[in-house]
Amino acid sequence: MKCPFCSNLETQVVETRIAEDGDFIRRRRQCGACEKRFTTYEKPEVNFPAIVKKDGRRIDYQREKLRASLNLALRKRPVSTEQVDSAIERIEEKLLNLGIREVASHRLGELVMRELKKLDKVAYVRFASVYRNFEDIDEFKTLVDEVSK
């Protein structure tokens, strides 16, 4: 493992811990040259389905894009990072359980909307208003009425 501070290739594992949920291993490392410490995480590599956009393009699934979408909808809302992480894990689990190589972007959007609806109603309405591309105020009002029930 290369040191992120000085790029030296000689690093030593100082401590190893398995995460509480057992999904990854956390390792504390120390550089042999600059002696600075840093943390690495090991997680199994899984192949998520490709995302098929509305125009037919296929792109790789990117966890960062999913997190950015959730964070944008949840901006200034009382939802913790842990709750967002859990929502992402549930979405990814559903994607993997589909057992398919490609998934339509609208299907991923629906998974995101379900999670947002559980996390925060305002964030759900924010995301849905952009995702569903409302044409008039009546569509928006219908969504708000649905959430208010």
pLDDT at position 68: 95
Q: Which residues of the chain have pLDDT under 50?
A: none
- What is the reported pTM? 0.64
- What is the structure's pLDDT at 99? 86
**Residues 6+ away with beta carbon under 8 Å from 124:** 73, 113, 116, 117, 147
| Structure-derived torsion over alpha carbons of residues 105, 110, 114, 117, reported in degrees to the nearest 10 | 100
Alpha-carbon span 87 to 81, nearest angstrom? 10
pLDDT at 15: 96
Q: Which of 34, 129, 121 minimizes the C-alpha distance to 77?
A: 121
The answer to whether 1 and 11 are in contact (CB under 8 A) is: yes
Say how far apart CA 67 and CA 57 lie, in whole Å.
Answer: 21
pLDDT of 134: 73
Bridge partners of residue 12, in order along the sequence: 30
Task: For residue 119, count other CB atoms closer than 10 A to its CB.
Answer: 21
